[in-house]
C-alpha cells in the first residue's frame, strides 16, 4: 500500500515537472506569437498608409485636372486656386509615398514612372493655365496633345497598378495577422490548460505530502504510546512485585526486631563491660528494622492505593535521617556536607517516610555522581516560596547530567549506571506530584547538578 502511494507520488512529481517544463515552452511560444502579432499588425498599418497616400495622389491629380478645366472654361479664380493647391501638394505627397515604400523595389519603380508622368502632366497643365486668358487656341491645342499623349491615363494606370499591388500585399499581411492571432490564442489556451494541470498536480502533491506527514505523526504517536504502555506495564509489574515483596519482608523484619529486643532483654542484667555498647547497638538495629518495615509498609500502601499520609513534620529532622542513612553507604568516602535550612521553613505537611525516601534517592544519586570527584561537596538547602511551598535543593559538584538523558530524566527506567534500575527519579517525581509540588534538575554554575523540589509548608505545630 505504502509502496503504491510512493509510486503515485513519483509519477505525480514527474508529471508536475513535465507540465512546468511545457509551461515554460508555451510561455516562450506565446511571447513569440505576440511579437508576430505586433509585426504583422504594423505591416497591415503600413500597407493601409501606402494605399491612403496613393489615393491622395490620385485625388490631387484629379483636382489639378478639374481645376485646370474649370479655369479654362470659366476663368474663375477659384478653379485656378484649386489647381494651384493640388499642384503644390503633389510633390510632397509623392515624396512621402516614396519614403514609405522605400523597402519595396517594385513599387519604387512604379512610382518613378508615375512621378515622371505626373511631372510632365503638371508642366502641360501649367502652360494651359498660363495661356488660357491670352491664347485660348494654343491652350486647346495643348489639351488636345495631352489627350493624344494619354498622360492622364498613364498616371491613372500607374497608380492603379500600385494600388493593386498594395491590395494584394494587404490581403497577405491581413492573413498573416489573423494567423498569428489564432496561433497566440491557441498557445495561450494551451498555457492556461498546462497551468491548470500543474496546479492540480501540485495540489495533489501537497495533499499527498500532508497525508504522509500526518501518517508519520500518527505512526510516531503510536510508537510512543506503545513505549509508554510498555513502561506502564513494567511499572505495574514492579508495583505488584513491591507489594508482594513488602508482604514477604514484613514478617522477617518484625521477627528481626523481636529477636533484637529479646537479645537486649537478655543483656539487661549483664555486668559485662561491653554490654552497654551492645545494648545501644541492638536498640539502633531494632529501630532501623522497624523503620525498614515502615518504609515497606508505606511503599506498599503507596503502590496499591497511590495515597500519602500527610502530617506536620520537621524538615530538618527528615533531612538528618535521610542524610544519616545515605552516608552509611558512603562512609568510607569523605564528603563535605553543608546544610543551609531556612529556619522559617522548618515545618512541612508531608508523608515523612516518602519525603525521606525522596531525599535519600537524591542524596544517593549525588554521592554516586561524585564517586570520582575530589573533594566531594554536597549542599542541602531550603527556602520558603511565596505560594506557601517550601523549596528544597540537593546539589553536588559531580560531572552533571548526561545530555542524552536530560530530556527524559524523570521517566522510569532511564539510567546510565550498569547496576541502576532508573526508577529512583521517576519515584521522586511521583512522590513530589502526590504532594502537589514539582521537581527539576539544573546544572550548577561551577559544575555539578542541583535537584530542586517543592513540598507544602505548614505552620509550627
Ligand atoms: P538510577 O540511579 O538507578 O540510575 P535514577 O532514576 O535515580 O536511577 O537516576 C537516573 C539517572 O539520572 C542516573 O542513571 C544518572 O545518569 C542520572 N542522575 C541522577 N542524579 C544525578 C546527579 N546528581 N548527577 C548526575 N547524574 C544524575
Convert the pLDDT of each residue in 315-368 to its tens digit. 999 998 888 878 776 655 789 999 999 999 999 999 887 898 899 899 999 999
420 is a domain residue: yes
260 is a domain residue: no
Q: Check pocket membership of 417 for ligand 1, CB cut-off 6 A.
A: yes
Q: At which of 207, 235, 270 does a domain end?
A: 207
d(CA 169, CA 162): 11
When pLDDT is averaged across residues 452-460 and rounded to a whole number, the result is 95
Pocket test for ligand 1, best of 357, 361, 365 (most atoms within 8 A of CB): 365
Question: Same domain for 312 and 179?
Answer: no
Q: What is the mean pLDDT of the chain?
A: 86
H/E stretch holding 453 reads strand 449-456
236 is a domain residue: no
pLDDT in tens, 118-137: 998 888 888 888 887 677 77
d(CA 375, CA 445): 17
How far is it between the farthest Cα atoms of the chain? 187
Question: Same domain for 200 and 314?
Answer: no
Ligand 1, atom nearest to 415 Cα = 14
**Cβ neighbourhood burial of 289 (10 Å; 0-12, 13-18, 19+):** buried
Q: What is the pLDDT of residue 232?
A: 55
Q: At which of 171, 189, 207 does a domain end?
A: 207
Q: Is the peptide bond before 375 cis (omega within 30 degrees of 0)?
A: yes
Question: Same domain for 188 and 316?
Answer: no
Which CATH number belongs to the domain containing residue 37 in this structure? 1.20.120.1730
pLDDT in tens, 143-182: 777 776 788 888 999 999 999 999 999 999 999 999 989 9
Q: What is the pLDDT of residue 303?
A: 61
Pocket test for ligand 1, best of 357, 371, 373, 425 (most atoms within 8 A of CB): 425
Q: Domain containing 138: what range?
A: 2-207
230 is a domain residue: no
d(CA 359, CA 315): 11
231 is a domain residue: no
Q: Look up residue 334 and give its three cell numbers.
A: 569523605
- Residue 336 alpha carbon to ligand 1 centre in Å: 20
Question: Same domain for 323 and 186?
Answer: no
When pLDDT is averaged across residues 279-305 and rounded to a whole number, the result is 78
Counting residues of the chain whose pLDDT is more than 70, the rounded percentage is: 90
d(CA 434, CA 306): 8
Counting residues of the chain whose pLDDT is more than 90, the rounded percentage is: 38
Q: What is the pLDDT of residue 435?
A: 92
- Residue 226 alpha carbon to ligand 1 centre in Å: 24
Which CATH number belongs to the domain containing residue 356 in this structure? 3.30.565.10
When pLDDT is averaged across residues 179-189 and rounded to a whole number, the result is 89
d(CA 95, CA 77): 28
Q: What is the pLDDT of residue 131?
A: 80
Q: What is the pLDDT of residue 270?
A: 80
148 is a domain residue: yes
Comparison of pLDDT for 100 and 420, the residue scoring more: 100
Ligand 1, atom nearest to 419 Cα = 3
Is residue 308 within 8 Å of 435, Cβ to Cβ? yes
pLDDT in tens, 83-122: 889 889 999 999 999 999 998 999 999 999 999 999 988 8
Question: Same domain for 185 and 315?
Answer: no
d(CA 385, CA 396): 22
- Residue 216 alpha carbon to ligand 1 centre in Å: 33
Residue listed under C-alpha cell 551492645: 278
Residue listed under C-alpha cell 513569440: 32
Q: At which of 184, 207, 230 does a domain end?
A: 207
Comparison of pLDDT for 245 and 213, the residue scoring more: 213
Q: Check pocket membership of 293 for ligand 1, CB cut-off 6 A.
A: no
Confidence band of 1 (pLDDT split at 50, 70, 90) = very low
47 is a domain residue: yes
Neighbours of 67 (CB within 10 A): 22
pTM: 0.45
Q: Is the pLDDT of residue 141 over 50?
A: yes
Q: What is the pLDDT of residue 68?
A: 83
How many domains in the chain? 2
275 is a domain residue: no
When pLDDT is averaged across residues 75-83 and rounded to a whole number, the result is 86
Q: What is the pLDDT of residue 321?
A: 83
Amino acid at each position: 500500500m505504502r509502496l503504491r502511494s510512493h509510486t503515485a507520488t513519483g509519477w505525480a512529481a514527474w508529471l508536475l515537472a513535465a507540465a512546468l517544463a511545457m509551461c515554460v515552452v508555451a510561455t516562450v511560444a506565446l511571447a513569440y506569437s505576440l511579437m508576430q502579432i505586433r509585426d504583422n499588425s504594423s505591416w497591415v498599418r503600413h500597407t493601409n498608409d501606402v494605399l491612403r497616400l496613393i489615393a491622395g495622389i490620385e485625388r490631387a491629380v484629379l483636382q489639378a485636372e478639374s481645376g485646370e478645366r474649370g479655369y479654362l472654361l470659366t476663368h474663375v479664380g477659384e478653379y485656378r486656386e484649386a489647381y494651384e493647391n493640388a499642384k503644390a501638394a503633389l510633390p510632397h505627397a509623392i515624396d512621402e509615398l516614396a519614403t514609405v515604400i522605400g523597402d519595396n523595389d517594385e513599387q519604387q519603380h512604379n512610382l518613378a514612372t508615375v512621378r515622371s508622368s505626373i511631372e510632365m502632366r503638371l508642366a502641360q497643365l501649367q502652360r494651359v493655365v498660363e495661356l488660357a486668358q491670352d491664347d485660348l487656341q494654343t491652350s486647346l491645342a495643348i489639351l488636345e496633345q495631352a489627350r493624344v499623349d494619354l498622360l492622364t491615363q498613364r498616371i491613372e494606370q500607374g497608380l492603379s497598378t500600385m494600388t493593386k499591388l498594395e491590395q494584394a500585399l494587404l490581403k497577405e499581411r491581413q492573413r498573416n495577422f489573423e494567423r498569428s492571432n489564432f496561433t497566440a490564442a491557441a498557445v495561450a489556451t494551451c498555457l492556461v490548460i498546462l497551468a491548470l494541470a500543474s496546479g492540480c498536480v501540485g495540489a495533489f502533491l501537497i495533499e499527498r505530502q500532508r497525508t504522509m506527514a500526518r501518517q508519520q505523526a500518527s505512526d510516531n504517536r503510536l510508537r510512543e504510546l506503545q513505549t509508554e504502555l510498555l513502561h506502564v506495564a513494567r511499572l505495574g509489574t514492579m508495583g505488584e512485585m513491591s507489594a508482594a515483596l513488602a508482604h514477604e519482608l514484613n514478617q522477617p523484619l518484625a521477627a528481626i526486631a523481636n529477636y533484637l529486643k529479646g537479645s537486649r532483654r537478655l543483656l539487661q542484667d549483664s555486668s559485662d563491660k561491653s554490654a552497654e555498647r551492645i545494648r545501644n547497638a541492638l536498640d539502633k538495629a531494632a529501630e532501623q528494622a522497624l523503620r525498614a518495615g515502615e518504609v515497606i509498609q508505606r511503599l506498599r500502601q503507596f503502590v496499591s492505593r497511590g495515597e500519602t499520609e500527610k502530617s506536620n513534620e520537621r524538615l530538618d529532622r527528615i533531612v538528618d535521617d535521610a542524610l544519616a542513612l545515605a552516608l552509611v553507604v558512603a562512609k568510607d568516602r569523605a564528603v563535605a556536607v553543608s546544610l543551609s535550612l531556612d529556619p522559617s521553613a522548618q515545618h512541612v505537611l508531608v508523608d515523612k517516610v516518602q519525603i525521606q525516601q525522596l531525599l535519600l534517592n537524591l542524596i544517593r544519586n549525588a554521592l554516586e555522581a561524585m564517586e570520582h570527584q575530589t573533594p566531594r561537596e554536597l549542599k542541602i538547602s531550603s527556602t520558603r516560596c511565596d505560594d506557601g511551598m517550601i523549596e528544597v535543593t540537593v546539589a553536588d559538584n559531580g560531572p552533571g547530567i548526561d545530555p542524552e538523558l536530560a530530556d527524559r530524566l524523570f521517566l522510569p527506567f532511564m539510567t546510565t549506571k550498569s547496576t541502576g534500575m532508573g526508577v529512583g527519579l521517576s519515584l521522586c517525581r511521583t512522590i513530589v506530584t502526590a504532594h502537589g509540588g514539582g521537581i527539576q534538575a539544573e546544572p550548577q554554575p561551577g559544575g555539578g547538578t542541583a535537584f530542586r523540589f517543592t513540598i507544602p509548608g505548614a505552620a509550627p505545630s
